[in-house]
């Protein structure tokens, strides 16, 4: 079994965008846990949060992660909160190489302000919310990461190239 490559990081880090670019570059299939979840439920993420709460969303997310871990090797864009559950962290580490995409609060705010499909940021002060999320999750992203990539000054294509290069170094060394 070849391991998958998991992209983790907060909302707006670029997991979906960079994941697709990396998949094209490395000629591997791409899958996004948020997309799978939406396709399976026929509902968008805010709707799932409304109906089942964050806990319901996390349960579904975990099930999808478990299935993907048992499947073929993919580039996998994860949901920003996938690291919150310990069982998910164990799966990520066991079944893949994990890339933590980092960006600062200003970048995350700007990148997430373009659409409103992130229920956790539907608050009066999204900047503060992002800061709280980073404080809680930063150690968890670090805990699972094989590679940490700062994307602040990189375009998505530059980030994709850099991550692929660093993965290649990791695998050869
Ligand atoms: N390195 C980058 N430089 C500039 N813009 C970026 C970069 N990475 C992503 N973006 C832009 O930021 C927005 C959010 O990116 P994306 O959806 O890939 O984030 P995500 O990590 O998948 O977030 P989520 O956890 O909410 O799914 C997109 O409009 C994307 O084009
Ligand atoms: O950071 C998070 O908790 C989330 C990130 C998105 O990818 C989605 O999974 C959802 O909006 C929750
Ligand atoms: Mg995404």
* CATH code assigned at 100: 3.40.50.300
Asked if the structure places residue 12 within a domain, the reply is yes
Asked if the structure places residue 171 within a domain, the reply is no
Ligand 1, residue 118: give the atom nearest the CA: 26
**Cα→Cα distances 48→42, 57, 66, 143, Å:** 10, 6, 19, 28
Asked if the structure places residue 44 within a domain, the reply is yes
Contact status, residue 4 vs residue 73, Cβ threshold 8 Å: yes
137 is in an annotated binding site: yes
Other C-beta atoms closer than 10 Å to the C-beta of 44 total: 14
Q: Domain total for the chain?
A: 1
Asked if the structure places residue 172 within a domain, the reply is no
So what's the ipTM on this one? 0.98
89 is in an annotated binding site: no
Nearest CA to ligand 2 atom 8: 79
Average pLDDT over all residues of the chain: 96
**Cα→Cα distances 6→76, 78, 116, 147, Å:** 5, 7, 24, 10
Query: Tens digit of pLDDT for each residue in 120-168?
Result: 999 999 999 999 999 999 999 999 999 999 999 999 999 999 999 999 9
Ligand 2, residue 118: give the atom nearest the CA: 11
Residue 45 belongs to what domain range?
4-166
- DSSP-assigned letter for residue 45: H
Q: CA 90 to CA 85: how far, in whole Å?
A: 9
Residues flanking ion ligand 3, Cβ below 5 Å? 15-16
% of the chain with per-residue pLDDT over 70: 99
Per-residue pLDDT at 125: 97
Asked if the structure places residue 61 within a domain, the reply is yes
Asked if the structure places residue 59 within a domain, the reply is yes
- pLDDT interval class at 173 (50, 70, 90): confident
User: Which ligand number lies closest to the CA of residue 82?
Assistant: 2
Asked if the structure places residue 83 within a domain, the reply is yes
Asked if the structure places residue 58 within a domain, the reply is yes
Contact status, residue 98 vs residue 147, Cβ threshold 8 Å: yes
């Amino acid at each position: 079994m070849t391991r998958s490559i998991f992209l983790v990081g907060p909302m707006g880090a670029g997991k979906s965008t960079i994941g697709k670019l990396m998949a094209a570059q490395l000629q591997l299939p791409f899958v996004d846990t948020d997309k799978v979840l939406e396709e399976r439920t026929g509902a968008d993420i805010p709707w799932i949060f409304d109906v089942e709460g964050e806990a319901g969303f996390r349960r579904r997310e975990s099930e999808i992660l478990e299935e993907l871990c048992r499947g073929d090797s993919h580039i996998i864009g994860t949901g920003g909160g996938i690291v919150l559950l310990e069982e998910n962290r164990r799966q990520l580490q066991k079944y893949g190489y994990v890339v933590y995409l980092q960006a600062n609060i200003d970048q995350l705010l700007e990148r997430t302000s373009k659409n409103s499909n992130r229920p956790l940021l539907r608050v009066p002060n999204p900047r503060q919310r992002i800061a709280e999320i980073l404080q809680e999750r930063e150690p968890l992203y670090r805990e699972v990461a094989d590679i940490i990539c700062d994307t602040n000054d990189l375009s998505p294509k530059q980030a994709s190239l850099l991550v692929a290069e660093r993965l290649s170094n990791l695998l050869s060394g």
